[in-house]
Amino acid sequence: MSALSGSSPRRREGIRRFAPTVALLLVGVLAGLSLGTSLLVARQFRNQALVASQVYATAIGGLNDPDADPYGALLDLSARARELGIPLVVTDAEGRITTSANLPFDPTAEPDRAAALLADLDAVNPAILTSVGAVHFGPLPAAGLLRTLAVLQALTLAVMVAVAVVAYRSQTTSRRDRLWVAMAREAAHQLGTPLTSLKGWIEQLRGDAIAPAELADHLDADAEKLHRVAQRFERIGNPARRDPVALGALAEKVSGYFRARLPRHANAIQVEVDAPSSGPVIAGDPVLLEWAFEAVVKNAADALQGRGGRIVISAASLGRFAEVRIHDDGPGIPREIRRTIFEPGITTKRGGWGIGLALVRRVVEDGHGGTIGLEPTEQGTTFLMRFPLASGT
């Protein structure tokens, strides 16, 4: 039982892996058949046009030639009409079959079958009545080819839709799997900073190199950081709150957390804030906005690792909007990925999953109705965030 249950997922995985290839082959075969049928239909119509033109030419020639034999001209017209391939049956005034053309059997030898055939022909096209009887005729031979072509095209369309559905589901599954992995990596990334910091404070505690009161403040900050990380992942899928948030004060809070944890001696990294007092006030979710600020600052700090430099967080109001710029004087972002830097999976870090800035854009744009982008700068990188100011500010 376990072997069967284990083979079923593998079988489904194999089918899912080869389904697009098989579907593409079917599309190719059906497309080839459809093209072949189209060529046959085109050739049939071309031949029918030629025969019809010859019939017309024979009729005109017979009418305009005083020496022409009228019976010969009529026989010639009859022969030309037979070449069209249309099933024809001529009956006299009593309904007896006098002549026929393009039938699969001899109607005079099989009267019962001939009567059924006449009914079928009249069901397709009304008989043409003449002074001596009637002419019963069926559809053009190309009609069957047209129906075949329609069926083939419908099959081709159905297979193409199936291919699209399989490809979409496969891509969606792949993206969902990558997103789950990326979210797990982002969770580890978010937890990594306070956990590393806690280990450092524990070493300080063992070495008795820092005052207990100061150490308690740092430990409390890291514990609070872990609590906020848990809140962030809880809120990321819910509507953002609309609390008054002073962006200058929030920038100072984020910078203060990083100042105590970034290198201050070899390859020192300085974090500075440029904002008027507490800064412009917007309506937003302080937990998610802090996450967005930290993610950009963390990326800037990673870009400066091993070389040192400055990170400046500035906040100001401009008209009805608040603007926040986070600038670093690092190596900058390569030009080839600047347009896609906020897409999931785009990263400049080795081993990165490219989910941080994608979440930042979600927080800024989807959660707070703002915008985020890269601002041109001569050196380093500048991220510009714009938010609507809170009403009354």
Q: What is the average pLDDT across 49-71?
A: 57
DSSP of 26-57: HHHHHHHHHHHHHHHHHHHHHHHHHHHHHHHH
Range among 97-101, 181-185, 375-379, 385-389 with highest mean pLDDT value: 385-389
Asked whether the predicted pLDDT for residue 23 surpasses 60, the reply is: yes
β-partners of residue 274 are 314
Q: Which amino acid is at 299?
A: N
β-pairing, 309-318 vs 269-274, is parallel
Residue with tokens 């998610």: 288
Q: What does the pLDDT look like over 162-186, one tens digit per residue?
A: 777 777 777 666 666 665 556 655 6
- Helix, strand, or coil here: 107? coil
Q: What is the average pLDDT across 224-229?
A: 72
User: What percentage of the chain reaches a pLDDT higher than 90?
Assistant: 18
Q: What does the pLDDT look like over 264-311, one tens digit per residue?
A: 778 889 999 999 888 899 999 998 899 899 989 988 998 888 788 999
Task: Place 320 in a pLDDT band, splitting at 50, 70 and 90.
Answer: very high
User: Are the C-beta atoms of 266 and 296 separated by less than 8 Å?
Assistant: no
Where do the domains of the chain lie, and which CATH numbers do they carry?
Answer: 12-144 (no CATH), 240-388 (3.30.565.10)
What pLDDT is stored for residue 68 in this prediction?
56
What pLDDT is stored for residue 208 in this prediction?
65
Asked whether the predicted pLDDT for residue 39 surpasses 80, the reply is: no
Q: What is the average pLDDT across 114-128?
A: 84
Asked whether the predicted pLDDT for residue 2 surpasses 50, the reply is: no
Higher pLDDT, 349 or 109: 109
Higher pLDDT, 237 or 26: 26
Q: What is the mean pLDDT of the chain?
A: 76
What pLDDT is stored for residue 3 in this prediction?
44
Q: What does the pLDDT look like over 208-221, one tens digit per residue?
A: 666 666 767 777 77
Reported as type and span, the H/E element at residue 314 is strand 309-318
Task: Place 317 in a pLDDT band, splitting at 50, 70 and 90.
Answer: very high
Distance (Å, rounded) from C-alpha 20 to C-alpha 7? Answer: 21
